[in-house]
Structures are given as structure tokens and as C-alpha cells.
Structure 1
């Protein structure tokens, strides 16, 4: 783990520069190396397909490497003391970022904030990568990364008792403890239970999940200030509402599995689209 880098996707756009700044600060905080990754895949970049590989067009790779070098220089300017490495590859951004997570401790990516419909139908890089990554992913949307995590800007995490959610709670608790932030853990019934015949059962199930999460946190993070919230209704909106003044919102996803590459999951997808703060997505990898 100590030698594994934080990887940030970079292409010199505004949202990737914001992701770069967040990643550089996090690399400094963790004393971790930072890899600036630019996946060059645009018209004129390649001559066509070789034996399983894309062949760069003349001078195209050199131009792409200049973009990477710009990202490396920017990272050094933000945090002069960090170790930064640049990587340029000729492939789709999603594939390059997903492959990079096999040997990363954290992946940071920016997103333009496409509408939920476009995100679902077209498959933005952020949604695709977050659903298939082999390490935690932090998604920075618009100017959300400028809000510091710490006192006054807590870490929020949702849990439904599943294995990915348990990983999300652990990741969120570690992050909160390391940044002196309060942790808020939210468990939802999943639907409006007012008038529902099984309302008591739904509320009892949510409370049981919350109680188990709280007991686990008392063992692993006894000094961490934790607020437990059991909410009635769908998780998506409750988490987005709770993130209004948060420094980080963390959710679990199905991650890699037998049907690798399926949709990220409705809750994770919704909070990436709607949350005003950085979103951490924790998969269910082995």
C-alpha cells in the first residue's frame, strides 16, 4: 500500500484541473506518490489498429505527452513537495483509468456533471470508471473539490448493510479520523413508509443496520465523533441533501462482478450526479 500511487485522470480541461488539485493535496496529506494519467484518444491521434494496439500518428504522442507534462507541472505547483509521475497512453480514458486502479490506492477523476439521462444512456467516463474500478474512486464535480474536509465539513456515508456499504463506512471513517472531521452515517428505509403495511418491519430493518454499523465503528474508531441517522424514504435524495455542507460523501457500489461493466447502481449514480461535494465510490471488489 505504501508504494501505491494516487492516480488522477487529466486532460487539461477545467474539471480535470480541479481533480488534479484535489489529488495533489491528498497525495501531500498521505505522503503518497501521485500519477498524472492522460489517455489520448481523439480524432487524428491514431493511424488505426495494429495487432491489438492503437498506433499513434506521427507527432501525436509527443503532443499528448506535453499535456501530461503540463499536468505534472501543475501538481508540483500546487504541492511542491510531492512525488509526481506522468503517464501518457493511447486508449480510451475509461479503459486507461480502470486499468490503473489495479495498482492504485485511490483514483481521482473530474466530471463535467452530465445530466442523469445522458449519464445513463451515453455512459460518461466518471460513471463507467466508478462502477468498474478496483480501488476507491473520488469523483470531483465542478467546483466541489474546493471545500476542505475537516471540522465544519464532515464526511457523510450511506449504508444498507451490504459488503460494499461496509467498505464504504470503513473508508469514510478512516478519512474522517485522518482529517479531524465528524462522520455521519445514514441508513434509509428505501421508501416512504407512511401508511405502508410493513412500515414497522422496514424501519426496524434500517435501525438494525444502523446499530450494527455503530457498534463496528465503536470498536474500530472509538475516538471518532459519529452521528447516526435513520431516515424514512429513498437513499438517493437523503444522501444528496446531507451532502449540502459536507466535505465528502461516500457510497458503496456493486463494483466488479460476474457482469462486469453494468450500470453503476441507482444510488451511486444519483449521488455522483446530484451531490455538491466530492463523492467517494467504494466497490465490492474481492
Structure 2
């Protein structure tokens, strides 16, 4: 049985956009949609008359009914026949979503929210959810090009294999092309050509392109054979990682990244690259964590692309 798609709901316009995206994801997977609303114990957005541990208290039920009813209407508009469940619980939203991810195929959140969700993508919180969730996390933002490709950020690390598989599956489900993008930083030892310090370093352009193409070939070869229906384009680029990803996302319907990586993508959710992508990408971003890693012990170097 296909695991459900979980979406965080708080009544904000951003969360309703997330519900719409989650409904589409559930429909193409043949999965159930699970609407999750969490009351943080110190949440300030609760109405007067009902304590946060009593969702049936005065005023609270009206809030829930309105918020969840609006979310369900949005979902039905996308997929009228889809199975939908409502889950209202007490707890910090990020903790609740992290727990929900253990039995989900995908967790979907908006880029801005209300109350306890308002900081969802501010600072390290977004990195915490994306790096610790037990399934991929889709952050709905920007204005995706519905005719654009699924854009996959490719690096050379084994930890990125889950992201590659997810991107191919997503492209297949969506009937979309896939573009594998590898950003080869000009400071990489693979392309460095001579002892000098920036900005006086010279680079062998042929070696740079050959290196990038090897990375793309190695990452895309296996999934390409198992997904013959997906048209794949390779895009080797030399430059700065975050700027390249943000610029390329303008023509994509989805950007897929791994939670950790090597080279230009190392520490993607732990430093400036993650914040740039999650705050400024021009299309939704799916973050896929390597399941062989222990979330409690994850580390990584801060990128300075």
C-alpha cells in the first residue's frame, strides 16, 4: 500500500498552496492525503476560551473546522475522489511533522505560515525538518513552470543517490523531462590548472567539462535505464552553486536536492546554500535525505560557493 502524502495545514495562503501541491502529489501516486494541524503548547494563535490541549474547547473547534474545511476544499478541487484524513494534534508543528514523516511517502509544507508555522523556513528550522524527516520534504514556493523539467542538483556523493531516484520517479509520475545539473566550482581541485591564488587561478575548460560530464554520467546512468520514459538532459555548469541553482530554477517545475553532498553541495542544508535555495528558488524545492545517515549525528561543512 502506498504511504500517504502529509501536508502541514495552518490556514495561511501558503499552506493552502501546499495543500494544492500535496493533493497533486498524492493523486499521481495513488496515495491518501493526510492534513496535519498541530497546536504548539505555547502557540499564540489560539482563540480565547479553549486551552491548547483541548481541541474541542470553545472557539477552537470553529477555528479547526474552518481551517481544515478550507484545506479539504482546496484538495478536492485538485483531486475530487482522493482519500483524505484530518489529523489534529498537540505539539510543536515541526516535531509533529517529523513524526508524521515516519509513515509518509512525502511531507509537503508552504514557504510561510501562521502562528507556530511562521518560522518554518526561517533560520535553521527548515534545515532541521528537511535533514531529519524520514521521507522527502517538498517546500512549496515560487512560480513553477508547469511545462518545465524536474531539475536535479547532481553531485558525486553516494548520499545523493536517493535524491536522484526521487527525481526520476517524480519526473515519470509528472510526465516531465529531467535535467541533471552539476555545478563544478572553479575552486575544485579537479579543474585547477596551476599553482596560483584566486583570482589569478587558471582552469582547463576541457578538464572541467569532462569532469562534470563524468559526474553526470555516473549519477544518471542507472536510474535512466529503469525509467526509459523520462527524457534526460545533462547540464554541466561552472560557477557558484547557489546562484546557478536559483537561476536555473526559474524554468523548472521542481528542484530536487539531496540533504547532504560533496563538493559544491556539501552541507546543503547546513549553510548559506540551503538558505538561498529554500528562500529564493523560483520553484518548489524537494529535499531528499540519505536514509543511511543518522539524523541525530548529521554534520557537514558550511558551503561558501
Q: TM-score range by the shorter chain?
A: 0.7 to 0.9
2:80 aligns to what SS in structure 1? coil
Asked whether 1:232 is paired with 2:238, we answer: yes
How has the CA–CA distance of structure 1 residues 132 and 244 changed in structure 2, closer, same or farther, with 3 Å as cutoff? same
Q: 1:184 aligns with which of 179, 191, 209?
A: 179
Structure 2 counterpart SS, 1:62: helix
Question: What CA distance in whole angstroms lies between the structure 2 residues aligned with 1:179 and 1:121?
Answer: 30
1:169 equivalent in alignment to 2:175 = no
Q: How has the CA–CA distance of structure 1 residues 225 and 77 changed in structure 2, closer, same or farther, with 3 Å as cutoff? A: closer
| Structure 1: segments with no counterpart, 5+ residues | 47-53, 256-261
CA contact (8 A) 1:39 1:93 kept: yes
Count of residue correspondences = 263
CA RMSD across the alignment: 3.1
Which residue number corresponds to residue 124 of structure 2?
123
Deviation at 1:107, TM superposition (A): 0.7
Contact 1:154 1:181 in 2 (8 A): yes
Q: What CA distance in whole angstroms lies between the structure 1 residues aligned with 2:236 and 2:275?
A: 21
- State how far apart, in whole Å, the 2-side matches of 1:234 and 1:119 are: 26
- Equivalent residues of 1:253, 1:268 under 8 A apart: no
SS of residue matched to 1:177? helix
Instruction: Extract unaligned runs of 5+ from structure 2.
Output: 114-118, 196-202, 262-267, 293-305
Write the distance in 2 (CA, Å) between the matches of 1:176 and 1:100: 25
- Structure 1 length-normalised TM: 0.80
Q: 1:247 to 1:120 in 2, by over 3 A?
A: closer
| Partners of 2:28 and 2:173 within 8 A in 1 | no
Contact 1:156 1:183 in 2 (8 A): yes
Do the aligned partners of 2:130 and 2:137 also contact (CA within 8 Å) in 1? yes
Query: 85-94 or 191-200: which moved more?
Result: 191-200
List aligned pairs for 1:86-101, cutoff 5 A: 86-101=86-101
Identify the residue that residue 9 of structure 1 maps to in structure 2: 8
CA distance in 2, matches of 1:120, 1:179: 26
Tell me, yes or no, if structure 1 residue 155 matches structure 2 residue 154: no
Structure 1 residue 121 displacement after superposition = 7.2
Q: Does 1:65 align with 2:64?
A: yes
Which stretch shifts more, 183-192 or 37-46?
37-46
CA positional deviation for 1:59: 3.4
Match of 1:207 in 2: 213
Corresponding position of 1:281: 287
